[in-house]
């Protein structure tokens, strides 16, 4: 029997087949590393620095790492001593304050490194603390950012002169190259600091933009609520004074005013609640619930404005933002019709498709039209209300147009996607 046959026979006799070693997947290892990074980043900077300095100090005395470190000057080596140990600690322990007092950290580590090299002690892993201190000054120093590099350069010149006086074989080029290496490490810290500041500024601007957008949204809501409801109440109250001899119709007018006022109070109360919110509410909880367009038309009709509603197709399942925008377009258009074309016939047409809802409000008016004060001219595009409507619709990816109708009067048209988000 050959060797290959013996191996195949042994494998065949094994019920479960050849043994397999299960190794953790790369994804699981990456996930653990990510959780570790998040845990480490969530700890206070002062605590992280102390822990890092402690670990770095322990590693500095580990035998396998004793040959890994910075060494310069090539002076005759001397044996280890208590003074050498203290100088190593002087290069590692100051890292505990590297983000809080980076200049102090650099002064202590730099001085300890210079004395350590001038005395010719063996290379140590702790000498890398000089590089970490230089990086920390570039990345975290807040004050005296010009004076500290100048002082560090002066200290390096003194260090180079001392090495030369002690008989170091290093030449001018060696000193220059090593200085450039130190400058590059400090420059890396400056680069990281700049990127961190840029990211903080970007987050600040993003937060400010979000605040501004929320303010504009609330301003639009307040404009729509106050303008529409107050206008309706004024018109209804004006009409009620002519119904004093008809108690039944007077009662209906007063009921309409009461209903309009209650609706206005409810919407204003909601908006005031949003203004007082702490930001903990979910976005959908902060979106006003739209009313029904037929109720809006009936309310306007009760105020004396002749309004006709025509609805084509079946209304699709619309997102909350699309529903609210549809309601606001009709609301603002009817408000302007009451203000600038009182008593003129007004047509509200809703055309539904699976993907879009077309809203068209047309008012027969011989004047400049809805949305423009009389005498302002036929090309006035409207005030804050129409501009706000355009912004609302275009934010949802829709289309908006408002202007004089070719047959006379004024026309507002909006095409609103059914899936438009708030």
Question: How high is the pLDDT of residue 131?
Answer: 93
Q: What is the Cβ-side half-sphere exposure of residue 359, based on CA atoms within 13 angstroms?
A: 29
Q: Is the pLDDT of residue 387 over 90?
A: no
Residue ranges of the domains in the chain? 43-170, 206-417
Query: What pLDDT digit, counting tens, does each position of 91-115 carry?
Result: 999 999 999 899 999 999 999 999 9
- % of the chain exceeding 90 in pLDDT: 22
pLDDT at 286: 46
pLDDT of residue 158: 93
pTM (2 decimals)? Answer: 0.52
Identify the pLDDT of residue 137: 92
- The reported pLDDT for the residue numbered 35 is 77
7-42 pLDDT, tens digit each? 454 444 444 444 444 445 667 777 777 776 666 666
Share of the chain above pLDDT 70, in %: 73
Mean pLDDT of 360-381: 52
Q: Tell me the average pLDDT of the chain.
A: 77
pLDDT at 365 over 90: no
The confidence score (pLDDT) of residue 18 equals 44
pLDDT of residue 271: 64
- Name the band, by pLDDT with cuts 50, 70 and 90, for residue 5: low
Residue-level pLDDT at 279: 45
Q: Is the pLDDT of residue 280 over 60?
A: no
Q: What is the mean pLDDT of residues 359-378?
A: 56
CATH class, range 206-417: alpha beta
**pLDDT tens across 115-170, in order?**
998 988 888 888 899 999 999 999 888 888 889 999 999 999 999 999 888 888 88
Range from 305-309, 315-319, 363-367 carrying the lowest mean pLDDT: 363-367
Confidence bin at 355 (pLDDT 50/70/90):
confident
Q: What is the pLDDT of residues 206-259, one digit of tens each?
A: 878 877 776 776 677 676 667 666 777 776 677 666 666 677 767 776 777 777
Question: If you average pLDDT over each of 41-55, 73-87, 186-200, which comes out highest?
Answer: 186-200
The pLDDT, as a whole number, for residue 94 is 93
* Rounded Cα gap, residues 384 and 381, in angstroms: 10
């Amino acid at each position: 029997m050959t060797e290959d046959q013996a191996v195949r026979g042994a494998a065949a006799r094994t019920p479960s087949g050849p043994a397999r070693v299960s190794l953790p997947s790369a994804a699981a290892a990456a996930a653990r590393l990510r959780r570790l990074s998040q845990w480490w980043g969530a700890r206070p900077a002062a605590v992280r620095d102390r822990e890092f300095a402690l670990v770095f100090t322990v590693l500095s005395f580990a035998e396998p790492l004793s040959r890994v470190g910075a060494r310069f000057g090539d002076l005759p080596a001397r044996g280890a001593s208590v003074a050498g140990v203290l100088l190593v600690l002087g290069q590692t322990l100051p890292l505990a304050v590297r983000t809080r007092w980076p200049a102090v950290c650099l002064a202590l580590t730099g001085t300890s490194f210079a004395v350590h090299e001038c005395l010719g002690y063996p290379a140590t892993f702790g000498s890398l603390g000089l590089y970490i201190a230089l990086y920390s000054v570039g990345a975290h120093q807040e004050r005296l950012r010009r004076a500290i590099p100048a002082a560090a350069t002066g200290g390096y010149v003194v260090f180079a002169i001392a090495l030369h006086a002690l008989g170091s074989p290093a030449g001018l080029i060696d000193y220059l190259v090593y200085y450039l290496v130190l400058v590059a490490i400090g420059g890396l810290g400056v680069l990281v600091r700049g990127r961190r500041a840029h990211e903080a500024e970007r987050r600040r601007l993003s937060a400010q933009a979000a605040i501004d957008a929320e303010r504009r949204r609330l301003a639009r809501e307040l404009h729509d609520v106050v303008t529409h409801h107050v206008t309706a109440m004024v018109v209804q109250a004006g009409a009620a004074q002519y119904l004093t001899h008809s108690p039944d119709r007077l009662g209906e007018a007063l009921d309409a005013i009461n209903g309009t006022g209650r609706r206005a109070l409810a919407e204003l109360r909601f908006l005031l609640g949003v203004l007082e919110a702490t930001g903990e509410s979910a976005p959908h909880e902060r979106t006003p619930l739209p009313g029904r367009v037929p109720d809006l038309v009936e309310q306007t009709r009760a105020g004396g404005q002749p309004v006709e509603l025509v609805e084509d197709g079946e209304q699709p399942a619309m997102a909350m933002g699309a529903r609210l925008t549809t309601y606001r377009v009709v609301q603002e258009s009817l408000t302007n019709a009451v203000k600038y074309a009182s008593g003129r016939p007004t047509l509200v047409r809703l055309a539904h498709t699976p993907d879009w809802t077309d809203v068209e409000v047309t008012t027969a008016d011989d004047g400049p039209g809805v949305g423009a004060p009389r005498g302002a001219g036929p090309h006035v595009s409207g005030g804050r209300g129409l501009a706000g409507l355009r912004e609302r619709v275009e934010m949802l990816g829709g289309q908006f147009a408002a202007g004089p109708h070719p047959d006379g009067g004024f026309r507002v048209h909006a095409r609103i996607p059914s899936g438009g988000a708030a």
